[in-house]
Amino acid sequence: MTTYFVSRHPGARHWIARQSLRIDAMVAHLDVAAIRAGDTVIGSLPVNLAAAVCQGGARYLHVSLALPAAARGRELTADEMEGCGARIEEYQILKVSS
């Protein structure tokens, strides 16, 4: 079982390193085809990719934060993420229809 952290943001990568989690692979973009049942994916994925992760039997842990409007569209540092209440929350996402 592999734990992936998905982010292209340096601040997010520094933040996850502070969380005392075992991360096997840090990737900028997720290849859903590489994810296997039992794997864990951590990141802020679009809902369709998160659903594909869950459909394949893997866990999806979302990096959530309360981002103020003034901080949108720019890179955040790990400290800024902590200031916005960054946390990891598990979701089970199911696509309802096609």
* pLDDT tens for each residue of the chain, 98 residues long: 999 999 999 999 999 999 999 999 999 999 999 999 999 999 999 999 999 999 999 999 999 999 989 888 889 999 999 999 999 999 999 999 87
Specify whether the CB–CB gap between 32 and 53 falls below 8 A.
yes
Residue ranges of the domains in the chain?
3-91
- pLDDT of amino acid 39: 98
Tell me the CA distances in angstroms from 55 to 27, 65, 95, one per residue in order: 20, 25, 8
Beta strand residue intervals within the chain, DSSP E: 3-6, 25-27, 40-43, 59-64, 87-91
Both tokens of residue 45?
């994925």
Both tokens of residue 70?
């003034």
Q: Specify the pairing of strand 59-64 against strand 87-91.
A: antiparallel
Compute CA 91 distance to the chain's CA centroid, rounded to the nearest angstrom: 11
- pLDDT of amino acid 21: 94
End-to-end C-alpha distance for the chain, whole angstroms: 29
Q: Specify the pairing of strand 25-27 against strand 40-43.
A: unpaired
